[in-house]
Amino acid sequence: MKPAEVTVPTTTPPCTTPPEEDKTVQNDIRIAVIGNVDSGKSTLVGVLTKCVLDNGNGLVRQYVFNYPHEKENGRTSSIAQEIMGFDAKLEQVQPSRAKASKAELCTQVAAASAKCITFIDLCGHEKYLKTTIFGLVGMVPDYAMIVVGANMGISRMTKEHLGIALALGIPCLIVLTKIDISPPEVTQKTLATLNKLLHGAHRSPQNVKVEDDVAAMAKLVHGGSICPIFCVSNVTGEGIGKFKQFLGHTSSRAHANPLFKTPSDPAEFIIDGIYAVQGVGVVVAGTMLAGTISLNQEVLLGPDPNGEFVPVSIRSIHFNRLQVEKAVAGQAVCFGIKYHGGKKEPLKRSNVRKGMVLVAKTIVPRAVWEFDADVVILQHATMIQEKYQSVIHCGVIQQTAEVARMDKEYLKAKDKGKVTFRFVHRPEYVHAGTTILFREGSTRGIGKILSINYDYKREHPLGPQKKHPKKKQPAPPQPVESPAS
């Protein structure tokens, strides 16, 4: 997918000055790390957060991976999160030890930091594209950090990731790694290709030099007007110091992002992770899009496969692994939850799924099967018509949907149109104005929800069930009596 094909605004709304009670939101930054496989994403995250250099054989990335199979093959297949902290003087808070567990390191760094950056390390292999899209769409990052191997050039997946980030309106920054092993002429060729690619996507690339003012540059990146390019080496440490200075001056875009509302609005929390913690129960992780949720507050959890919402109570709240009394819009937090009211059975992990929400009781939420959207087709080999099915990514929602109606007979690459999508498996909780992305393998198109159709209903989540007549079982053979002797 070519980034130039995506029509997006060249600038984002200006960031307003946040109120005093929202300083924790302003100083909590989330950066999605994307790029082609083997470009050095996890190694770079490890070098930045653990404050150690790599040995050239992938030592540092071992501290970032979640699972043993990732350590064996050296490829990220899940979403890993690492934290980097800065004090009031914008000096990096040093971790106690590089090999510390993620829980220990996060708790220590967060407690000593005035500003925290959470790196969301996403997958580079095409096989895990859906996981990468989930992180970019559902985890609402402030920035996208595209990692490119200087000796590898610009691959198809690099263009795919960059195109998705630009289509979602996420400000981007480029990090060119492996400059210690890349021949100078190859590095220059990669830089030239990057500059051409960004110009075609209506972005202004800027190669960062040692003497550049990174504080002023960070403000320009916040507004989306420039795309800085940093050249670093994870082995020698070249360029790492300058890049850390830049990261220290970045700020959250929660107050400029239209997805987020104010802490005084009715609460809404989208769920992107579910855990069963021994001694605690069910814990849900995600992002506060609106309002404030406090300890012991009653909220609604849903929708279930039938589109219903159930009341639950908030047992505990953790922000950056530190226990807090409340969570406000713009924060990525974890809630310990349990059923509220007369339900005797405990809440189980199987009762919760990614894509569900916690909302205030005052909202009176409704799950829907259908919605209308304005879409643009980025790429497709043939034509899109009614009954066409693809996977819809809408926030944390990932579900197959079919085209129920269209304002045109068909849509092909680069076409725009109004489409009515219908979820296939279960109803979901969606809003008008939300950006959607749909794919069939690779990304096919992007759009924005115009309206919700509350009239369409299905009695069964999987559609009407056909009743097959039961086959008559043959009568069992009668025992033969032996003749009397």
Q: 292 vs 465, which has greater pLDDT?
A: 292
Q: How far apart are CA 207 and CA 448, in angstroms?
A: 33
Pick the CATH number of 370-453 from 3.40.640.10, 2.40.30.10, 2.60.120.10, 3.40.50.720: 2.40.30.10
- pLDDT, average across residues 348-357: 95
Tokens standing for 399? 């579900």
- Phi, then psi, of 440 in degrees rounded to 5: -140, 85
81-90, 364-373, 476-485: which range is least confident on average? 476-485
Position 56 pLDDT exceeds 60: yes
User: Residues of the chain with pLDDT > 70: what percent?
Assistant: 89
Predicted confidence (pLDDT) per residue in 262-279, tens digit: 999 999 999 999 999 998
Predicted confidence (pLDDT) per residue in 383-407, tens digit: 999 999 999 999 999 999 999 999 9
Predicted confidence (pLDDT) per residue in 204-243, tens digit: 999 998 888 999 999 899 888 799 999 999 999 999 999 9
139, 169, 143: which is closest to 355 by C-alpha?
139
Confidence (pTM): 0.87
Question: Which residues, 6+ apart, have CB-to-CB distance to 385 below 8 Å?
Answer: 403, 406, 409, 410, 411
- pLDDT, average across residues 99-124: 92
Domain boundaries, the chain: 23-248, 268-363, 370-453
Question: Which residues, 6+ apart, have CB-to-CB distance to 337 below 8 Å?
Answer: 281, 282, 283, 284, 301, 312, 313, 314, 315, 347, 358
- Report pLDDT for 8: 37
Position 9 pLDDT exceeds 70: no
User: Residues of the chain with pLDDT > 90: what percent?
Assistant: 76
Same fold, 23-248 and 268-363: no
Confidence of residue 1 (pLDDT cuts 50, 70, 90): very low
* Kind plus residue range of the DSSP H or E element containing 191: helix 184-200
Position 123 pLDDT exceeds 60: yes
- pLDDT, average across residues 408-426: 94
Q: Is the peptide bond before 461 cis (omega within 30 degrees of 0)?
A: no
- Report pLDDT for 476: 60
CATH number at 268-363: 2.40.30.10
- Report pLDDT for 17: 39
Question: Which residues, 6+ apart, have CB-to-CB distance to 25 below 8 Å?
Answer: 18, 252, 254, 255, 328, 329, 330, 331
Task: Please answer whether residues 289 and 260 qualify as being in contact, where contact means their C-beta atoms are separated by less than 8 angstroms.
Answer: yes
CATH number at 23-248: 3.40.50.300
* Kind plus residue range of the DSSP H or E element containing 374: strand 370-377
